[in-house]
Amino acid sequence: MRLTVDGQSFDIDADPDMPLLWALRDLIGKTGPKFGCGIAACGACTVHVDGQPVRSCSLPVGQVSGAVTTIEGIGTAGRLHPVQQAWLEEQVAQCGYCQAGQIMSAVALLDEVADPSDADIDNAMGGNLCRCGTYPRIRSAIKKAAALKTAGL
Amino acid sequence: MASVGKIARRTFLIGAAAVAGGVAVGYYYYRKPFPNPLEVELGKGEATFNPYVKIGADNTITIVAPRAEMGQGISTTLAVMVAEELDVDLDRVKVEHGPASYAYYNAAILEEGGPFAFFDESMTAQAVRSGLGVVGKFLALQGTGGSASTRDGFDKMRQAGAAARQMLIAAAAQKLGVAAADLETADGSILHKASGKSLTYGAVAAAAAAMAPPAEVRLKDRADWNLLGKPQKRIDMLAKVTGAPIFGIDVRLPDMLYGTVKMSPRFWSTPVKADLSKAEKMPGVIKIVPLETNYGHGFGIIADNTWAAFKAAEAIDAQWSDPEYPLSSAAISDVLKQTLGTKGSVMRDNGDVDTAFADAPRERIVEADYAVPYLAHATMEPMNATAQFRDGALDIWCGNQAPTLVRQLCANAVGIEQDKITVHTTFMGGGFGRRVEMDYALCAALMAKETGGRPIKVTWTREEDMRHDAYRPAAIGKFQARLGDDGMPVAVDMKMASPSVIAGTLRRLFPSISPLGPDKTIVDGAYDQPYTIPNYRVSGVTAPVSIPVGSWRSVGSSVNGFFHEGFMDEIAVAGKIDPVGMRKRLMAAYPSAVKVVEKVAAMAKWGEALPAGKAKGMAFTLSFGSWVGEIVQVADTPVGIRIEKVWIAADVGTALDPGIIEAQLISAAIYGLSAAMGQEITFADGMVEQSNFHDFDAMRIFQCPVFEVAILENFHKMGGVGEVGTPPAAPALANAIFALTGKRIRSLPLSKTVAFA
């Protein structure tokens, strides 16, 4: 089975029922997406397939037809995505475990809506649980990221 | 509050251990330093000054922050303590957790374990506190908990930085042939202004580290702080926004196997019958092994990948013996009620409560029964650990709140000496008290003996994590007050019953120690509050239910904050007194408390009229040395109650990083509000009924209120930060709901009575 992840092509030998998350983490070695619940209830595993946010813990790898993007594919420490930059500036993360999923949901939101309202943020981010309660800073970071993106930074 | 005689009679658990062990024989041992664990692991060109500082010849400066980073920002704040005194910027230093070592024992974690309120500064209270610090050293517990890390580290980490700096200056003075007094330090270099000569720390590190530590260490005055007291950029932020592999679950080793566990769904039960044949034949499954630890029985599944292990765990067909505790939540509740009717241990006893109630007219009595459920920690990162056992030695990688305990318990379980175990402590995807437990490490260690030397990463499913926690215990309380003619309380009688966190924790972590006396955590947050009421009694009883219970963010105060402050609100309503005004009068002897209440009331514009359909509630709890007032504003909406805004004022004594403190106060309040709104762990047939976030959810972003936080520094002792925002959250919300709806909800979660938007 071939899988394109973060612009790279991988040949994997997996049960097609294996969730994409475990193919990424255990077979390919992409540990950015996190395991939180296994039932698409917490969003920690969020990645993009052809730009659309999906919960990789509940998507069988055999059904993945598009290109997969993980947190490791949107930016690097030296070249951050505007959403990552905003997360850094707003000092969002506490334990940090849910943040890869939060950031991937936020990136997808901003690709869809350049200047999201509070209601847009509530709708797009409601599936991403954070047990540290970083929501107020997530909200301000999304608004800051929108401004950074609009300014072309 | 307590005299020596009273302590002797009560023999409260930790206090008793202190008096029996620590104070009597301890001081020589206490003063003798532990060896520096960094000496055995220095890299080429590296020199170490003490357990907290390493400097390389290339001027790489490494600070060891030996506490669990579970989101609370402790690795940043501890590093800042050293960096401040070492005169280096935070972005110049590398920060590591360091090895498991007794050198990193946490003295402050037990200091408030004695039977004294935080504000009690009597000689007895202070003597027991210092004794408990000694016990901290005796147990040599390298632990993170009790909101104690900054209090424990504040002096010793600053001293470590200052001592290293003085030694570097002394070495530079020798090398340059100038007087030490003429040298200055900045940004990792030593400068001789008169000649313009300078040396990096790295250039003199080896010579400096060979010198004797200074007899006297001078610390900066607060006015000279450059880093402490100001918000810092967290050292872990970049890794956390780029998805770096920093968590236990991210560990990857060559030739690694994967696994999971299926433990008995009934605690402490043994398998009566087990059919592993179907699971063993599943693709990717290598081996299934029985597991037995201090946490109970079950099976470990060893496989090629985590998914295969999860599928096989589901396919195990086992029957488990009957449990030793009541089967259902209703039956557990009956035990709690029976227990509450038995004689309790009195932890606070001012005036003469029985006499005060004896002649009270019926209309002057307020009575209420309160209850809270069991709760899971539900950290975002499910329990996991990675272990490798080869050549008689064990390496273990996991996020944990007590590395020396990991080492000790794994040594016992695997049957090797502690010096054959290396603990690699990773960042934690949440802790909240869950990672004080050792079950995840023990399971991985035992499974690593079955892999022929290959490393194995053992990840629990969310269902396994939810159903095998050390839960916040359920508790009930009976509350009575007698009001005076002016409506103010003249007598209160409070009694709680709950399973014992201390006894539960000892059974799992120190099975050879038996509990000595009553468990103070049953009354924490109720007996130790800064209210003066002439007749004031608080007692607690341990309920005999052996479902595992443990430390859940703010421990006993998470229970009693709700009980005590809900009841205070009831007293105010019955006495027709404003709840904020009543608290200020009752707290008059404690100016720090009054200032917190005044501040939060001013922030929330308490007393100003609100539009119809909105209301506010207030609560206050002193816990872990910090004085915290919270006001919650709720609104009635067509889809349920919405929490609109929360104001928090907290006196932490000394605020070392206001940015991190603000984040922690909000975090802890959301943690408490999440539980108050909708969380409960219930039991049927001896098993936990909840399994995942669909039936044990937490606050979501669309439910999250706007927060406003004020950090005060009035009290003369430093308080903790990580837990203190939790206790007042639930009662402030319940009191707001009463103000909005007239419904007094005395049993959590609130969602059993009202709907939330």
| Candidate from A34, A84, A125 with C-beta closest to B241 | A84
Closest residue by Cα to residue B75 from B55, B95, B98: B95
Q: Over the range A49-78, which residues count as b (16 or more CB within 10 Å of their CB) and which as e?
A: beeebbbbbebebeebeebbbbbbbbbeee
Q: Over the range B378-388, which residues count as b (16 or more CB within 10 Å of their CB) and which as e?
A: bbbbbbbbbbb
DSSP bridge partners of B396: B387, B423
Q: Which residues of B touch A135 (CB under 8 A)?
A: 670, 699-701, 704
Q: Which residues of A touch B71 (CB under 8 A)?
A: 93-96, 132
B233 to chain A, minimum CA–CA distance in Å? Answer: 7
Phi-psi region of B432 (alpha: psi -120 to 50; beta: other; left: phi over 0): left
pLDDT at B143: 84
Q: Is B515 helix (H, G, I), strand (E, B) or coil?
A: coil
DSSP bridge partners of B302: B259, B287
Secondary structure string (H, E, C) spanning B427-487? ECCCCCCHHHCCHHHHHHHHHHCCCCCCCEEEECCHHHHHHCCCEECCEEEEEEEEECCCC
* Sheet of strand B197-200: strand arrangement: B183-186, B189-192, B197-200
Which tokens sit at B748? 């959590």
| Candidate from B241, B307, B701 with C-beta closest to A135 | B701
Q: Which residues of B touch A41 (CB under 8 A)?
A: 692-694, 697
Does the pLDDT at position A146 exceed 70?
A: yes
Nearest CA in chain A to B459: A35
* pLDDT, greater one: B27 or B269: B269
d(CA B389, CA B322): 34
A76 to chain B, minimum CA–CA distance in Å? Answer: 6
Which tokens sit at B114? 């004695």
d(CA B525, CA B424): 35
Does the pLDDT at position B293 exceed 70?
A: yes
Q: Which residues of A touch B670 (CB under 8 A)?
A: 132-133, 135
Q: Which residues of A touch B729 (CB under 8 A)?
A: none
| C-beta atoms of A34 and B429 within 8 A | yes
| C-beta atoms of B707 and A136 within 8 A | yes
Does the pLDDT at position A24 exceed 80?
A: yes
- Report ipTM for this prediction: 0.98
Does the pLDDT at position B679 exceed 70?
A: yes
pLDDT at B399: 96
Query: In the structure, what pLDDT confidence band is assigned to residue B125 with cuts at 50, 70 and 90?
Result: confident
A16 to chain B, minimum CA–CA distance in Å? Answer: 12
Contact A70, A6 (CB under 8 A): yes
Mean pLDDT of A127-139: 98
d(CA B76, CA B242): 18
Mean pLDDT of B295-324: 97
Burial class (CB within 10 angstroms; exposed 0-12, middle 13-18, buried 19+) of B281: exposed
d(CA B529, CA B524): 9
Does the pLDDT at position B27 exceed 50?
A: no
Which of A21, A22, A35, A57 to mutate to test binding with chain B, by most B CBs within 10 Å of its CB? A35
Burial class (CB within 10 angstroms; exposed 0-12, middle 13-18, buried 19+) of B127: middle
Strand pairing class (B706-712; B640-651): parallel
Query: In the structure, what pLDDT confidence band is assigned to residue B105 with cuts at 50, 70 and 90?
Result: confident
pLDDT at B134: 53
Q: Which residues of B touch A19 (CB under 8 A)?
A: 307
Q: Where would I find the H helices in B295-437? A: 306-315, 329-340, 353-358, 403-414
pLDDT at B518: 81
| C-beta atoms of A91 and B307 within 8 A | no
Which tokens sit at B152? 């424990």
Query: In the structure, what pLDDT confidence band is assigned to residue B127 with cuts at 50, 70 and 90?
Result: low
Query: In the structure, what pLDDT confidence band is assigned to residue B120 with cuts at 50, 70 and 90?
Result: confident
A112 to chain B, minimum CA–CA distance in Å? Answer: 19
pLDDT at B117: 80
Does the pLDDT at position B124 exceed 80?
A: no
Nearest CA in chain A to B256: A26
DSSP B228-254: TTS----TTHHHHHTT-S-BGGG---T
Closest residue by Cα to residue B13 from B688, B517, B483, B394: B517
| Candidate from B237, B306, B663 with C-beta closest to A88 | B237
Considering chain B, what is the average pLDDT of its residues?
92
Considering chain A, what is the average pLDDT of its residues?
97
What is the amino acid identity at position B718?
M
Contact B366, B357 (CB under 8 A): no
| C-beta atoms of A131 and B250 within 8 A | no
Q: Is B120 helix (H, G, I), strand (E, B) or coil?
A: coil
Does the pLDDT at position B256 exceed 60?
A: yes
Q: Is B129 helix (H, G, I), strand (E, B) or coil?
A: helix
| C-beta atoms of A37 and B462 within 8 A | yes
Helical (H) or strand (E) element with B350: strand B345-350
What is the share, in percent, of chain B residues with pLDDT greater than 90? 85
Q: Which residues of A touch B691 (CB under 8 A)?
A: none
Mean pLDDT of A117-141: 98
**pTM, 2 dp:** 0.95
A142 to chain B, minimum CA–CA distance in Å? Answer: 12
Which tokens sit at B670? 């959301």
Does the pLDDT at position B3 exceed 60?
A: no
B311 to chain A, minimum CA–CA distance in Å? Answer: 10
- How far is the CA of A114 from the CAs of A91, A100, B47, in angstroms? 22, 20, 52
